[in-house]
Amino acid sequence: MNILEVEKLKTYFFTEAGVVKALDDISFSIPKGSTLGLVGESGSGKTVTAQSVLRIVPKPGKIVGGSIFFEGEDLLPKKEGEMRKFRGKKISLIFQDPTSSLNPLFTIGEQLGDIVVQHMKLKKSEAKEWVIKTLKLAKLPDPENAIHSYPHQFSGGMKQRICIARALLLSPKLLFADEPTTNLDVTIQAQIIALLKDLQRDLGMTLVMITHDMGIVADMCKWVVVLYAGNVMEIGPIDKIFEEPHPYTEALLKAIPRLDQTKELVFIPGNIPNLIDPPSGCKFHPRCQYAKEICKEKIPSLEDIGDGHFVSCHRWKELNNRG
Ligand SMILES: Nc1ncnc2c1ncn2[C@@H]1O[C@H](COP(=O)(O)OP(=O)(O)OP(=O)(O)O)[C@@H](O)[C@H]1O
Ligand code: SF4
Ligand SMILES: [Mg+2]
C-alpha cells in the first residue's frame, strides 16, 4: 500500500524574470513503511517536492496542478485549517539547514515544548517529559539538561539530533529528511544516517531521504525517485537503479565519492538548465552522452518497464541491450 501518491504535480515560481517550472508534471508514489530516496542535483526540485506535499511552498511559488494523495485523501483541495492537522502530526520535515531552522532566542525545551503544548494539549510538566523522551529517541546526550540550553550551545551534529526530535514530536507517519547530513563531517554524517535508519525501523515510519548522494541512497533506501530539472527521470527499486540506470542516474552514480579512492569527485559535465526556458525534448539532452536527434525534439514519457521500474528516456531500451 502507498502512503503517498503524487500525480502530475506542477509547482511554479512566478518570478519577475519569468515562470520557474520547479516541478513540471511529476508523479511518483511511496510505499508505506519504506525508505525512499529522492535524489537529483541542486535545483532539481527535491525541497520543493517536500514543500508541496506539506503545502508550505514559499511565495512566489504556487502549486498549479496535480494531486497529492496522503493515505487516499487529496491534500490539495484542503483548507489551510485542515492542512494543520497533517503538518507535523502525519507528515513531518527535517529542514535542510538545522542552524537556521532553530530559533536562537529560545531554549530547546521552550521551542520544542511549545509545539507539544499547542498540538497535544498536554500540561507543561507532561510536555516537558514528552520533549525529554523524544530527545532521547534522537539520542541527544543528557536531554534533562539540554532542554535548558540554547541552540548555539550545541555542535552541528547535536543540533541535527534536536531537529530530528522536533520533527518526531507529534509522531508523524511520513518523514521527509531534507539533506540531513549536509555540512556535517563524515563521522557525524554516519551517526545521523544510523539514527534515521533505527528510527525508521523502530517507529515503523515511512522515510523520504532527500539527497544528492547516491552512496547514502545505496546504504539506506529500498526505492528511489530521480529528479532532474523538475521532471522525474527514473523511479525504481534500488537494485534496478544500479543495474540498469537511466543515463542521468548513471551520471549521478559516477559521481559517488568513494572513501577508498583518492580520485576527485566526478561532476556531471554541463550546467543545470534554466527552468524558465528549459531545453526542448528531454531536458537532460544538452548534457547526455547518449543524446540523439529525437532527444531534442520529443519529450520522453515515463515508461513502465516492469518490477516497479519506470524510466523516462528514448534510448533506455536500446542502451540496456548493449550486452
Ligand atoms: N523561493 C523561490 N523563488 C524562486 N525560485 C525558487 C524558489 N525556491 C525554489 N526555486 C526554484 O525551484 C527549483 C527547485 O528548487 P529546490 O530547492 O527544490 O531544489 P533542490 O533539488 O532542493 O536543490 P538543493 O540540492 O540545492 O537543495 C530551483 O530551480 C529553484 O531555483
Ligand atoms: S532521452 Fe536522450 S537525452 Fe534524455 S536521457 Fe535518454 S538518451 Fe539522454
Ligand atoms: Mg533542497
Tens of pLDDT, residue by residue over 217-260, are 999 999 999 999 999 999 999 999 999 999 999 999 987 665 55
Q: Is 69 near ligand 2, meaning CB less than 6 Å away?
A: no
User: Which residues of the chain are in CATH 3.40.50.300 domains?
Assistant: 2-90+172-319
65: three-class secondary structure by DSSP? strand
Peptide bond before residue 60 is cis, with ω within 30 degrees of 0: yes
Ligand 1 centroid vs 48 CA: distance in angstroms? 6
Per-residue model confidence (pLDDT) at position 320: 87
Q: Please report the sign of the dihedral spanned by the C-alpha atoms of residue 193, residue 195, residue 196, residue 201.
A: positive
Percent of the chain whose predicted confidence (pLDDT) is above 90: 85
Query: What are the Cα distances from residue 275, in Å, to 41, 113, 152, 229, 259?
Result: 14, 41, 37, 7, 34
C-alpha cell at 63: 502549486
Ligand 1 centroid vs 39 CA: distance in angstroms? 13
Q: What is the best residue among 283, 284, 297, 316 to mutate for testing ligand 2's pocket, by most ligand atoms within 8 Å of CB? A: 284
Q: Which ligand is nearest to the CA of 229?
A: 1
The residue whose CA has the least distance to atom 3 of ligand 2 is: 285
**Which residues surround ligand 1 with Cβ inside 6 Å?**
13, 15, 20, 22, 40, 42-48, 58, 61, 96, 212, 275
Most confident of 70-79, 263-272, 313-322: 70-79
Residue 64's contacts (CB-CB under 8 Å, 6 or more residues apart) are 10, 11, 12
* CATH class of domain segment(s) 2-90+172-319: alpha beta
Stretch 127-141: mean pLDDT: 97
The pLDDT-based confidence of 323 (bands split at 50, 70, 90) is: very low
Q: Which ligand is nearest to the CA of 11?
A: 1
* Burial (Cβ within 10 Å: 0-12, 13-18, ≥19) of residue 45: buried
| Predicted TM-score (pTM) of this structure | 0.95
> Position 70: which residue type?
F
